[in-house]
Structure 1
């Protein structure tokens, strides 16, 4: 690894501008000189993706003139491309690794005045998203959530890494549908473990709690933030969310009857959460979890519904003049960062999505930040508690 960093430093130099330069390592060859770069990373985005382009303007040549290969290192002297779809690739910003994955698409466009070359790269997790998981059995008993996720990701040569010990819980029973993708299985496992599941720069994926790490500095309008958009909304939010029992009991009285409310109470689990930010009556009914003794998970579920809907309806989007915080670290997803609004109000938010971009307008980073509640995993009843026997005992 140090050899790659040394190579980057020799080519790009050691100054501040070098840490703003994107490069791609393919087949042991470092490619620089990209004229436009877009790299998109996110907690809810898998795989992470990069789009890079080189453009050279050249005068039109007659048919008798030889068209010199402007791509240079992208082709060898024999004219054989050194970049092919499917190649293993690393995307770096300065010396920092940002994406480890594969070249998905190679695009070359030529005209008498212009020659353009583009690469689209996706992180290794694209294989988890696209490919079916293969198992010798569809049902597993007494398994560990982290171990199961590691087993599912192994075919893609991806490891599942714990951050601060997240996700190390036991599952008494877990069933797999044989047509499910690896991502769908791991995503369910992560929800059962109560953790987030997202890409890491080295090509592996993380099990982590929400906001488990913190940036060295924050985002301040008028300083390192050029543009800021705040959203406060009631869309998708409800004054109360109630879990009801999905039984065969029917409401025999018509709405408006004196006993109608009493019958509704009869099918209510008692798990209710209210959103104080919604002042008018906007109720929502959701089904209670079957087999949930004392409705412990159901109670968490209604609270999660209120909190997540609030978090997703209150976001801050900023455009930064730098890809890094004051300590020189790249902005990173699932990191807490203090945000100071134009009004002077300060709040701690989680970086949910980042777009690193570079082009004619310079180097910018677009960050989407949301309250931690907006990223909390949905509480789920462990599979062993939802089988028919346990349901009968709990009932």
Structure 2
């Protein structure tokens, strides 16, 4: 069951639910809807409200509303809420700030403090010689700096952000097609890849131009990507290393799997991004450990409670070459599908 909590009140039994988060986004997104008989009354949420979203008494998002829509007719009333977590201000706002001689962790802390966004730092970070925003979104600059450092920066349940490495922890669950997995999609997004990567920069200390490049041997036609390196990225080993990171990350991200699994939890709790799962799909020769990059909870009167997980190899977030293909999956007996619980069955 999904509940929202604010001003000491709790509202439950939402009929339509979508709660999504991604390691590539600084704000989680929430959509809730319900229709009841009668004319109803205002929910009490306004533009300044901070709302906790709970699943099974676990906070999964802390949000501010983007829109509240109340619709009333002679027989019923409905409420629809669209909202995002507190990091949305870093996404929406245009801001100017210049910071010099600070580590990436301190830059993240300062910008989050400015916008009153909680932050957790769980990584060692290098010095960023110069970091400047000029009438631009803080989110874009922060995400680019985190990627250049091979780190993740993503929304947390308290509404804030976490700067950390892609997890190397053991899988939290094993998901088998026909058992926990209802359906899946294997996605090869070829447009993410280029035949060659050229990174250009400038060393102001020595007053000389810099460049580095690398090729993707899998692309057999001319499709170049030229990148102007920022100063934050150059601290990771130069333009050659930056080009390698870009190629390897794009090769890994071009192949992903979307999984629809029953319910919103596993044995250890609610599904979370930046955790690993073992995925077994025998007919696709898939049996390996993948990192959850995107997670979306949903509830409707057709499928009941479901979770969409987008998983990729951990190398997709590290910029490392993918390992050799895993051995063919062992055969699993196909278990009976778990019954779907409809919203109308909730008590």
Q: Which TM-score band (shorter chain)? A: 0.7 to 0.9
1:319 aligned to 2:260?
yes
* Structure 2 unaligned blocks of 5 or more: 203-208, 321-347
Change (3 A) 1:48 1:270: closer
Q: 1:224 aligns with which of 180, 187, 196?
A: 180
Change (3 A) 1:283 1:85: closer
The answer to whether the 8 A contact 1:86-1:104 is kept is no
Q: Alpha-carbon deviation of 1:348?
A: 1.8
Change (3 A) 1:179 1:167: farther
Distance 1:246 1:124 in 2: 34
Distance 2:159 2:185 in 1: 32
Q: Alpha-carbon deviation of 1:227?
A: 0.2
Distance 1:286 1:342 in 2: 40
* Structure 1 unaligned blocks of 5 or more: 1-20, 59-67, 76-80, 248-266, 379-395
Give CA-to-partner distance per residue, 1:132-177, whole Å, 9 cap, x none: 3454xx3x332121111111111222232123xx143222x21313
Q: Alpha-carbon deviation of 1:111?
A: 1.9
Aligned to 1:373: 315
Aligned to 2:121: 162
**RMSD over aligned Cα atoms:** 3.1
Aligned to 1:91: 53
SS of the aligned residue for 1:375 comes to helix
Distance 2:228 2:168 in 1: 30
1:41 aligned to 2:21?
yes
Q: 2:288 aligns with which of 324, 336, 347?
A: 347
Aligned to 2:273: 333
Report 1:259-298 matches (<5 A). 271-275=213-217, 277-278=218-219, 280-282=220-222, 284=224, 286=226, 296-298=237-239
Change (3 A) 1:109 1:69: closer
Answer with 1 or 2: which has the greater Rg: 1
Report 1:2-41 matches (<5 A). 21-41=1-21
Change (3 A) 1:115 1:377: farther
Distance 2:226 2:239 in 1: 10
Aligned to 1:201: 157
Q: 1:364 aligns with which of 303, 306, 314?
A: 306
Give CA-to-partner distance per residue, 1:253-302, whole Å, 9 cap, x none: xxxxxxxxxxxxxx996743444x44x45563636869999x94222223
Distance 2:199 2:55 in 1: 51
Change (3 A) 1:144 1:108: same
Aligned residues: 310
Change (3 A) 1:212 1:206: farther
What TM-score does the superposition give when structure 2 sets the normalisation length?
0.79
Aligned to 1:10: none
Distance 1:304 1:145 in 2: 18
Q: Alpha-carbon deviation of 1:233?
A: 5.0
Report 1:243-262 matches (<5 A). 243=198
Aligned to 2:339: none
Change (3 A) 1:232 1:193: closer
Distance 2:148 2:200 in 1: 22
Q: 1:104 aligns with which of 48, 66, 71?
A: 66
SS of the aligned residue for 1:306 comes to helix
Q: Is the strand fraction higher in 1 or 2?
A: 2
Change (3 A) 1:169 1:273: same
Distance 2:214 2:319 in 1: 19
Q: Is the helix fraction higher in 1 or 2?
A: 1
1:122 aligned to 2:84?
yes
What TM-score does the superposition give when structure 1 sets the normalisation length?
0.70
Aligned to 2:137: 181
